[in-house]
Amino acid sequence: MKFQTTLAFTLLLLVAMVGAGTVSALYGFTLGYGALQGVKQPEGNPSQQLVRNRPADSPNPQNNNIELVSEREVIVAVYDKIYAKEQGLKEQAAPQPKSSFVKLPDGKTITPNAEEIAAVSSPFPLATEVEDISLAVNDVRSLGSYLVMDVTLQNSSRESIRFLYNFLELKDQDGRLLSAQTEGLPGEIPANNQEYVGTIRIPTVLVEEIDSISLHLSDYPSQEITLEILDIPMVR
């Protein structure tokens, strides 16, 4: 009789423990389920999620992409702004001699002086053309502490072309690079057959012992077209 009572008590205790465990498990599951409502499994491929979230009726899907800024373009833009401050010293054009025609008596002649002969025998303009893109150096003159080259660019092709003038290469006759500032030339030359006039300024101290320089300008960013003008004489 005592054995049966002990066995019944043990079974009752086991049933109570199992029941308590089951109730605890259900209660814990209910609490966890309620806490995790609204939480979704992360997307395995984030790029696909971005594509699905992009508006389908956007007229230009590329506008939603993030465009990274090129470090090279930032450096070039800062370089341009620094040298733009120097434009406060506007170029003062040298006075051009006025032409005057004087009727001479019959039998008299005029012997041209050395300056007139030099003007007639001037090597300028110097020009080059590649794939209907032309570059010309029309004159080289000394202006203050700079040597100034007057240049023109013309696009006779069917497509516009871009240039980044901070990558313009100027070399002396020994192949050494010279620093220069470009002014007046647009960054993009449209295909309109129009001549665009600008200047290239070189510090005079860099060309004091130089007889000639070479100019190299490539399009940007493809660099498929390179305009070259060699042996540009210097003016003292």
- How confident is the model at residue 222, as a pLDDT? 87
- Measured over the CA atoms of residue 146, residue 149, residue 152 and residue 153, the dihedral's sign is negative
Q: Does the N-terminal peptide bond of residue 233 adopt cis geometry, omega within 30 degrees of 0?
A: no
Low-confidence ranges of the chain (pLDDT < 50): 58, 90, 92-94, 100
Q: What is the pLDDT of residue 85?
A: 61
Beta strands at 161-162 and 169-172: parallel, antiparallel or unpaired: unpaired
3-state SS track over the chain:
CHHHHHHHHHHHHHHHHHHHHHHHHHHHHHHHHHHCCCCCCCCCCHHHHHHHHCCCCCCCHHHHCCCCCCHHHHHHHHHHHHHHHHHHCCCCCCCCCCCCCCCCCCCCCCCCCHHHHHHHCCCCCEEEEECCEEEEEEEEEEECCEEEEEEEEEECCCCCEEECHHHCEEEECCCCEECCEEECCCCEECCCCCEEEEEEEEEHHHCCCCCEEEEEEEECCCCCCEEEEEEEECCC
Domain 120-231 of CATH type 3.30.365.10: no
**Are 144 and 89 in contact, with CB atoms under 8 Å apart?**
yes
Q: What is the pLDDT of residue 166?
A: 85
Q: Give the model's pLDDT for residue 137.
A: 95
Interatomic CA distance for residues 133 and 174, integer angstroms: 27
| pLDDT for res 133 | 94
- pLDDT value, residue 93: 46
pTM value? Answer: 0.50
Q: What is the pLDDT of residue 111?
A: 58
At 94 the pLDDT is 46
Measured in whole angstroms, the distance separating CA 162 from the mean position of its chain's CA atoms is: 10
Write down the domain spans for the chain.
120-231
pLDDT tens, residue by residue, 96-130 = 555 545 555 555 555 556 555 555 567 889 999 99
Confidence (pLDDT) at 161: 94
